[in-house]
A and B are shown apart, each in its own frame.
Chain A
């Protein structure tokens, strides 16, 4: 590995160790400071954790798309965050009329099902199309070309949606039933959080079963293990790649609808930040590792939600909530630098780093 190769030079090591120590110091000092000051009540902490789990379950779903595509093609699908956006937009155009007519209010289950079906169909279709048009020609070219092409796809999707639906932020409908909350041991548990986490777990469980139990899932794992050998065994690699993109696209569509429901808005650049963060989650869990991506998503969501208050408030930083993305990006960079194979380890990643 390069880091070891470079370690003859102590200056580099010094910098890297300084970074490690600085981050650990901020975390430890900040946590201690916040806890000693004790400005936050148990309810507030519970809210942070709940929000962390909710947003984490969404990141987990997006991360699955990155990790599966990476496993099969060794490609960072830079446009995956924008696939999430397409799902959210498609959901919006179903949810708004349903909400206006009162259907979403009276038939929450059917209404949500309709929104999710349209969102999933759209995002899956677009994911498969991007693979066919933009990524397939690069199957055998290495280097930077595929990644640059993926950046192009990302721009193209964003700007296409901007052109079609305008650049204004559109607010997602907010049905009455979504605002209610359960009461668990005196803590407020918002219904939308339970819905998002529950459905996310359900869908991710389904995906895990598909990958582990079905023929196509087995083929996918075989291609991820060794594409050429799999092709020699008679597996149609193209089909597997399309299957992978559609699974990832479907997850992205669901995640897009949930993300829009949680933040209550859609706009054309909304996919970028969750996309990058979910990529971080995928690396965190060891890229190519499906359960790892799910855990990584939850972990990232928690750190991002609890972190600003817990780490930064204690060392006297004003308005720590503004630095939420800073924490997520720092985590991403730290993982890329210090543990590119992920927290849970993955043999695949060793080749990259």
Chain B
């Protein structure tokens, strides 16, 4: 028991040291949650210790685990004070030292670290063993305070638009640099009571309704989320519009890759190539530049770009028809890289503009109205996404969609059942490419220019990550994944350089804990239920937590 507490604590502490050494911790320390009281970095450390505590069943063990979680960090501060580590590890700077020791010097700092860790661990264990009613109230309330604090700039900007009506309310909740103490307390209390009341009403209702309404309930939620997404930019201004536009583009691509990976099981890491084809085709057909082949209006170029992407998708799929599984992933990645190397080279420069790219792509216009602002382009993306989502939804339930799923589950059996593998696979590549090509086309007109450096392997990985997080084969999952992985990092811009660290961690954690994604498709969830049980058995077999220190 004690051994388990110590090992858990050390594992969580090692996570904390990783955050510190990589530099995320200090970056998080720059954001207040509650002004002059708690920063995001401190909250992260408290959450780590609390998490270690919550892994324990008893309060005393939680206390021990929380305190041990602070030990690696304490050791780090000692090391920083004695060895000049800053020369090698750029993140281990004086400000980090001051943050970890709370400006109290080495001895005092360590005492605070370990004491704070122990308290947080105790609290974590206490929350775990508390009655569910309390947990249901505290959880959402804490999240609400964190969201209100972290996104204060954005929320304040939004609220300021309506200042004549609610200026007193805004000034009560926020000071100009963030959430005030009374604001935090108010939000916490209101949300805690609200979620408790709403939660009990909700439960009473769902208890009466049977499970078959589960699906409809989720659709209602999806509708609400979409409505908010659609109205938000008009309310919140052009910055949010820009972010949501990017989210929209990734939703488009995610739905495309979802056809390939989620339905047909073809892991394609060269997906960015189709995006690039869409963007370059649009550029070459519309741009006011020497490379341009034509000067079509945007609406003429877009369908051609999509058609071209389909052709490239089929061409791309043809050679790799016989390649499966892991090999397919590497082969498609190689194809994607080949496209990039060619576009970037001097060899193709006369046609594609080389590393300088193609500039001066006009914005789309409807009559006399030019879609130039981010918000209007967002609505273009939204319309495209809506059409694409409808197509994807119909495809999923079509004969072709079922053929894809059969293909995903077992290629040989699918073929034996009379599914035309060549046709099914090529359609998956072609239709997936169409979505990406459409996204690429909008991307080109959004930036008014295309550069080969915009089409890195990273984009393929981003799209893959978002459909995995959302849930493979699930359309609402794509939306959720895009909001979580593209929208959030865009809003938390000072952590921008850590976003891929976060992606890596998310991929590993999702694969281990929730391989079906946050919002799994119904089929997928049923399928994975069996393997979940074996996973649980596996986890039970080696219950010793990972030793990362």
Cross-interface CB contact of B91 among A163, A323, A352, cutoff 8 Å: A163
Per the 8 Å Cβ criterion, residues 6-45 of A in contact with B are 6, 9, 12, 15-16, 19
Contact, CB under 8 Å: B90 / A337: no
Q: Are A12 and B347 in touch, CB under 8 angstroms?
A: no
B506 near A323: Cβ-Cβ < 8 Å = no
**B459 CB, min distance to chain A CBs, angstroms:** 13
Docked pose: A9 CA to B415 CA in angstroms: 14
Scoring B residues 327 to 346 as 1 if CB is less than 8 Å from chain A, else 0, what string do you get? 10111011101100110111
Q: B538 is contacted by which of A133, A140, A154, A160 (Cβ under 8 Å)?
A: A140
Q: Is B44's beta carbon under 8 Å from chain A?
A: no
Which of A54-62, A142-150, A204-212, A221-229 sits within the interface?
A142-150
In the complex, chain A residues whose CB is within 8 Å of the CB of B338: 326, 329-330, 333
| Interface residue? A129 (CB, 8 A) | yes
A1 sits at the interface (CB 8 A): yes
Q: Which stretch of B15-23, B152-160, B431-439 is in the interface?
A: B15-23
Q: Which of B318, B324, B508 contacts A134 (CB 8 A)?
A: B508
Residue of B nearest to A273 (CB): B337
A338 to B116, CA, bound (A): 61
Interface residues of B in 520-549 (CB under 8 A from A): 531, 534-535, 538-539, 542, 546-548
Chain B residues in 8 Å Cβ range of A325: 337, 341
Q: Do B330 and A154 touch (CB < 8 A)? A: no
Any B CB within 8 A of the CB of A230: no
A149-B327 in contact (CB<8A): no
A234 at interface by CB-CB < 8 Å: no
How does the 8 Å CB contact mask read for A140-180 relative to B, with 1 for contact and 0 for none? 11001111110111111111101111110000000000000
* CB < 8 Å neighbour of A19 from B90, B319, B346: B319
A5 at interface by CB-CB < 8 Å: yes
Q: Contact between A322 and B346 (Cβ–Cβ < 8 Å)?
A: yes
CB pair B534 A140 closer than 8 Å: yes
Minimum CB–CB distance for A327 against chain B, Å: 10
Q: Which of A76, A153, A333 contacts B335 (CB 8 A)?
A: A333
Interface size class of A (residues with CB under 8 A): 35 or more
Closest to B535 in A: A141
Q: Which of A257-273 contact B (CB under 8 A)?
A: none
Which of B411, B422, B505 contacts A9, CB < 8 Å?
A: B422
Among A1, A140, A146, A317, find the residue whose CB has the most chain B CB atoms closer than 10 A.
Answer: A140
Q: Kindly state the interface size class of chain B when it binds its partner.
A: 35 or more
Segment with Cβ contacts to A, from B30-38, B394-402, B496-504: B496-504
Select which of B323, B468, B548 is within 8 A of A336 by beta carbon.
Answer: B323
B322 at the interface (CB under 8 A from A): yes
Among B91, B265, B341, B421, residue most surrounded by chain A Cβ atoms (within 10 Å)? B341
Contact B24 A276 (CB under 8 A): no
Query: Which residues 298-326 of B have a CB within 8 angstroms of A?
Result: 315, 318-326
Evaluate contact between A165 and B347: CB separation under 8 angstroms: no
Q: How far is the CA of A343 from the CA of B376 in the complex (A)?
A: 55
The residue of chain B having its C-beta at the shortest distance from the C-beta of A129 within the complex is: B548
Query: Mask for A112-125, Cβ within 8 A of B = 1, else 0?
Result: 00000000000000
Q: Is the CB of A160 within 8 A of B501?
A: yes
B236: Cβ under 8 A from any A Cβ: no
**A245 contacts the other chain (Cβ, under 8 Å)?**
no
Q: Which residues of A contact B542 (CB under 8 A)?
A: 136
Contact flag A337-B345 (CB < 8 Å), given A151-B461, A325-B337: no
User: Would you call B515 an interface residue if the criterion is a C-beta within 8 Å of the partner chain's C-beta atoms?
Assistant: yes
**A353 with B323: CB separation less than 8 A:** yes
Given contacts A164-B22, A352-B327, contact A154 B322 (CB under 8 A): no
How near does chain B come to A281, taking the closest CB pair, in angstroms?
A: 12
- Within 8 Å of chain B (Cβ to Cβ): is A319? yes
Any A CB within 8 A of the CB of B464: yes
Task: Please determine whether B331 and A337 come into contact, CB atoms closer than 8 angstroms.
Answer: yes
Closest to A238 in B: B542
A51 near B: Cβ within 8 Å? no
Does B208 make an interface contact (CB < 8 A)?
no
In the complex, are the beta carbons of A322 and B421 less than 8 A apart? no
B511 at interface (Cβ–Cβ under 8 A)? yes
For B507, give its contact among A12, A149, A283 (CB under 8 Å).
Answer: A149
Give the complex CA separation of A141 and B511 in angstroms: 11
Further contacts, 5 of them, CB under 8 A, given A76-B326, A144-B267: A15-B319, A137-B538, A160-B18, A162-B497, A319-B345
A/B interface sample: 19 pairs, CB < 8 A: A2-B322, A3-B322, A15-B319, A16-B318, A133-B546, A134-B508, A141-B515, A144-B265, A149-B508, A155-B500, A156-B504, A158-B500, A163-B91, A167-B497, A318-B346, A325-B341, A336-B327, A337-B322, A340-B327
- Smallest CB-CB A-B distances: 10 pairs: A152-B507, A155-B504, A163-B22, A156-B504, A159-B501, A3-B322, A152-B508, A149-B511, A2-B322, A336-B331
